[in-house]
Chain A
Amino acid sequence: MTLGTWLALVVALVVAAEAVRALRHRGLRSERWRRFFRQRTTSWGLGILTFLVIVALAAPLIAPFDPNKQLDIIHLKNYPPSWTFLLGTDYLSRDLWSRVVYGARVSLGIGALGALMAVSLGTLVGAVAGYYQRWIDAVLMRGVDVGLALPRIFILLMAVALWDGLPFAALVITIGLTSWFGTSRLVRAEVLSLRQRDFVVAAHALGADTRRVIFRHVLPNAAAPIIVSAALGVGNVLLLEASLSFLGIGIKPPGASWGNMIADGASSIYTAPWSTLFPGLAISLVVMSLNAVADGVRDALDPREEPA
């Protein structure tokens, strides 16, 4: 670790902490934000996520070494954590901290992308089904049933088996295309209950066209399950990508992904436990934080707690 990278790391930590504090401060004015920050874990979760996002974005500044470079395969193999190698080195003498930092880009990026795709598709389908009802609803929901019947990992395994040399981008898209089913059901349920409400009927009476009604009036009120879905979706996609990389059909070597780092470290788990420990902790931290934030959103937007 050089002075520059230490500085960058500290700056990232400070910025994340300050951002959360600033948000809390501003939020004290609104009832919803107060509810959001009610649990301590939500603030921590938000802080950790912000920090990791900053780290991922600023990876070239924060990572002291090239994540794929094998620094010294004889002397620095499986080196324990130290001031130079913050998290130690792995069995190919690559700096773990740098790999975790660049791995954050891969894992968070894929998680975000996959979740974005899933939530968008799910919201669209759910909203259309819930709003239009009748046969559109029936067809779409049967489709969702079929989609939910096939466990995701088997679809992905089939894709990998059938298409030789499938680029990882295609795999990510497939993950996104197969993760929207649960969200669509949630959104549909919300839309179903919302469309009876007064403001929707009023909007119709005033002559607003259907699409406008969906996007400007119904969806914003259905925000709670959508946002929660998104937050949990990132976590799910992240775990799925980690699983695939662990099984050896995700990111190819030498690319760093938290999943394949655990796989790489598994063979030295006795002599160098840090090579499996830290990527695993990283994954858990992110998923935990996402869950905490999702809890907070649920608390904040819970309709039961709205003043009547």
Chain B
Amino acid sequence: MTAAWLLRRLVASVAIIFAVVTFVFILIHLAPGRPCSHFGGGEYVDQIECNRLSAQFGLDKPIPEQYWLYLIALAHGNLGYSFSLHRPVRDAIADTIPFTLQLAGAALALDFLLGLALGIYQAVRVNRLPDIVIGNVTLFIYSLPTFWLALLLLLIFGEKLRWFPVGGPNNPVLCPLVDSLYCVADRLWHLVLPAATLGMVGAAGTARFQRAAMLEVAAQDFVRTARAKGVPERRVVLQHQLRNALLSFITRFGLAFPFLLTGAVLIETIYAWPGMGRLAFDAILSRDYPLVTATALTASVVVVAGNLLADILLGIADPRLRVRADPDAHVLTA
């Protein structure tokens, strides 16, 4: 992975974010009416407040100049003022990012561990009973609406069995802040159900994909050769099939971020998890335009960063890719 390649990818990522910012700006200005509310004024702001916002955001200036001011504001990290929360948007989002990252991270971990394990197991026992059973179960789970699954899990594990807490990110009595190892464990315990909901659907998809990828690799000549040479079965599986299947997984990893962020909106609303998805949703219901657009921008940054990370990991893991200069060449399957 050359420095030149890395630089190119970074520049491309920045360009994409820039394009997204422009797109959002155009969208805001296409929307009808209420110029003051778009920049923190709320729906029924009075004239004095509107004048103040006009001065701050240059709302009376021509559009290209507004665009420039908008870019400068973003560059300084000024994302506007949220009138429904009475605080700067940047602070509101900053508070929620750790929660969303925890949820996404845990879901991704579950997705990876469970999905990989199931996919490998299925491929090893291909076309026998365990494969068929797991195959149908993963198909079913993959098709479930996540919010429905969330309601069911809350009902069964939260209320009936009381194994896990009913929503919320923490025990408000003992751990309003995460300031001890015990509180870390408490946070993890509260994370189980939401992460399981998001992760299970992802794991089902990953299992299906891994199974297919491993079977594809298994049919390839080099694996057959290894088997013919008498290499022990376990090594054949782990070293050859697994490594190549892993590469495909890392490829898919980049696609996981949009799915996680989308799923987060629903999961966080149901489980009262104070992450960015729930913030975006509450912002919608309050018609808090600055907050909604800022969450969209932040989500894009996360997605782009995730893709960049995936590309770098792929570059490390797959020596073949280091030679190829065109990163678009790896085909993404649905």
- Mark A residues whose CB is within 8 Å of B: 41, 141-142, 145-146, 148-155, 157-164, 182, 185-186, 189, 225, 228-229, 232, 235, 239, 242-243, 246-249, 259, 262, 266, 269-270, 276, 280, 283-288, 291-292
Contacts and interface: CB of A to CB of B under 8 A. Distances in A.
A19 to B, nearest CB: 22
Given A149-B20, A161-B283, A162-B289, A262 B296 contact: no
Contact of A155 (B16, B285, B296, B304): B296
Given A142-B15, A291-B142, A249 B296 contact: no
B144 A148 contact: no
B19 interface: yes
A41 B208 CA distance: 14
A151 B333 CA distance: 18
A247 B147 CA distance: 10
A266 B262 CA distance: 21
Contacts of B269: 247
A162 B31 contact: yes
Q: Is the interface of B mostly helix, strand, loop or mixed?
A: helix
B299 A150 contact: yes
Interface string B248-264: 00000000011001100
B281 A157 contact: yes
Contact of A160 (B12, B284, B300, B333): B284
Given A152-B258, A266-B151, A284-B145, A161 B23 contact: no
B282 to A, nearest CB: 11
* Chain A interface, DSSP helix/strand/loop, else mixed: helix
Given A160-B284, A247-B269, 6 more contacts: A149-B16, A158-B27, A182-B334, A189-B331, A262-B147, A262-B151
A186 B296 CA distance: 26
B143 interface: yes
15 contacts: A41-B136, A142-B19, A146-B20, A149-B303, A151-B257, A157-B281, A157-B284, A161-B284, A235-B143, A243-B146, A243-B262, A248-B285, A280-B148, A288-B139, A291-B143
B128 to A, nearest CB: 15
Contacts of B20: 146, 149-150
A243 B145 contact: yes
Contacts of B332: 182, 185-186
Contact of A246 (B139, B266, B293, B304): B266
